[in-house]
Amino acid sequence: MTRPAPDRRIADLAGAFVELRTALGRVLVGQDESATGLTLALLAEQHAYLEGPPGCGKSELAAALAALSGARTHTLVFHRDIRETDLLGDVLLSRHRHRGHERLRRELIPGPLLQAEIALLEDLPRSPGEALGPLLRILAERNALGQPLPLESAVATGPLEQVEAPIDPLEPGQLDRFAVQLRLTGLLTGGLFDEAAVLLEREAARESSRTAVQSTTGSVSAPEEATATPRAAVMSSATRKAAQRAAAALQVEPRTIDAYHRLLDRLRLRSADESASGDRLMSDRSFSSAALRLVRAHAFLRGAPAAAPRDLGAIRYMVAHRLPDEVQEDFDHILEELLGDPPNVTMTETGAQMPGAQSQGDDSDGAAAASPASDSWIDDQADLPAPPTLFGKPPPPAQVDPLLRALVGRIERGRIDPDTDPGGQPRGYRPLRDLDELIDADLIEALLFAEGRLPGAPRTFERKRKSAGGAVAVLRDISASMAGRLTVWSSQVVLGILRVAARRRMRVGYVEFHHRALPHQVGGRLLHRSYSRLAEQAGQAKAVGQTNYEAPLRTALEGLRGGSGRNRHIVLLTDGLPIIGDTTVRRERQLARRLGVALHTVFLGNGDCPPVLDDISLETGGLRFYGRPLTGGGLRLEER
Across-strand partners of 181?
Answer: 49
Buried b (16+ CB within 10 A) or exposed e, 253-279: bebbbbbbebbeebbeebbeebbeeee
Cβ proximity of 282 and 327 under 8 Å: no
Cβ proximity of 35 and 28 under 8 Å: yes
CA distances from 407 to 397, 624, 625 (A): 20, 10, 11
Which residue number, 2 or 214, has a Cβ lying nearer to another protein? 214
Cβ proximity of 426 and 81 under 8 Å: yes
Provide the minimum distance between the beta carbon of 516 and another protein in the complex, in angstroms, as a whole number. 23
Residue 94: strand, helix, or coil: strand
Which residue number, 225 or 550, has a Cβ lying nearer to another protein? 225
Provide the minimum distance between the beta carbon of 28 and another protein in the complex, in angstroms, as a whole number. 9
Provide the minimum distance between the beta carbon of 465 and another protein in the complex, in angstroms, as a whole number. 8
Which residue number, 336 or 440, has a Cβ lying nearer to another protein? 440
Angle between helix 291-302 and 32-43 (nearest 10): 110
Provide the minimum distance between the beta carbon of 426 and another protein in the complex, in angstroms, as a whole number. 10
Provide the minimum distance between the beta carbon of 456 and another protein in the complex, in angstroms, as a whole number. 19
Cβ proximity of 43 and 186 under 8 Å: no
CA distances from 111 to 84, 157, 273, 401, 593 (A): 11, 21, 47, 41, 58
Provide the minimum distance between the beta carbon of 275 and another protein in the complex, in angstroms, as a whole number. 20
Which residue number, 194 or 639, has a Cβ lying nearer to another protein? 194
Which residue number, 9 or 529, has a Cβ lying nearer to another protein? 529
Query: Which of 164, 116, 168 lies closest to 142, judged by CA?
Result: 116
Provide the minimum distance between the beta carbon of 314 and another protein in the complex, in angstroms, as a whole number. 27
Which residue number, 220 or 327, has a Cβ lying nearer to another protein? 220
Which residue number, 397 or 596, has a Cβ lying nearer to another protein? 397
Which 8-state DSSP code applies to residue 440? G
Rounded Cα distance, 313 and 122, in Å: 27
Provide the minimum distance between the beta carbon of 70 and another protein in the complex, in angstroms, as a whole number. 17
Cβ proximity of 354 and 306 under 8 Å: yes
Write down how long the chain is: 640
Provide the minimum distance between the beta carbon of 220 and another protein in the complex, in angstroms, as a whole number. 5
Which residue number, 216 or 590, has a Cβ lying nearer to another protein? 216
Which residue number, 211 or 236, has a Cβ lying nearer to another protein? 211
Which residue number, 314 or 534, has a Cβ lying nearer to another protein? 534
Which residue number, 187 or 560, has a Cβ lying nearer to another protein? 187
Query: Which of 336, 326, 320 lies closest to 263, judged by CA?
Result: 336
Which residue number, 83 or 628, has a Cβ lying nearer to another protein? 83
Sign of CA dihedral 156, 158, 160, 161: negative
Provide the minimum distance between the beta carbon of 574 and another protein in the complex, in angstroms, as a whole number. 24
Provide the minimum distance between the beta carbon of 542 and another protein in the complex, in angstroms, as a whole number. 14
Tell me the backbone φ, ψ of residue 109, rounded to 5 degrees: -105, 125
Rounded Cα distance, 535 and 491, in Å: 9
Work out the angle at residue 146's Cα, subtended by the Cα atoms of residues 142 and 148, and round it to the nearest 5 degrees. 35
HSE (side-chain half, CA atoms, 13 Å) at 525: 12
Provide the minimum distance between the beta carbon of 23 and another protein in the complex, in angstroms, as a whole number. 20
Q: Compute the 3-state secondary structure of the chain and give helix, strand, coil in percent, each to the nearest 5.
A: 45, 20, 40
DSSP string, 137-178: HHHHHTEETTEE----EEEEEEEPP-SS--SPPPPHHHHTT-
Which residue number, 402 or 426, has a Cβ lying nearer to another protein? 426
Which residue number, 9 or 505, has a Cβ lying nearer to another protein? 505
Cβ proximity of 229 and 59 under 8 Å: no
Long-range contacts of 257-261 (CB under 8 A, 24+ apart): 258/343, 258/348, 259/309, 259/312, 259/338, 259/339, 259/342, 260/291, 260/292, 260/295, 260/309, 260/312
Provide the minimum distance between the beta carbon of 380 and another protein in the complex, in angstroms, as a whole number. 24
Identity of the amino acid at 471: A
Provide the minimum distance between the beta carbon of 189 and another protein in the complex, in angstroms, as a whole number. 5
Provide the minimum distance between the beta carbon of 435 and another protein in the complex, in angstroms, as a whole number. 15
Which residue number, 189 or 283, has a Cβ lying nearer to another protein? 189
Rg (CA), the chain: 29
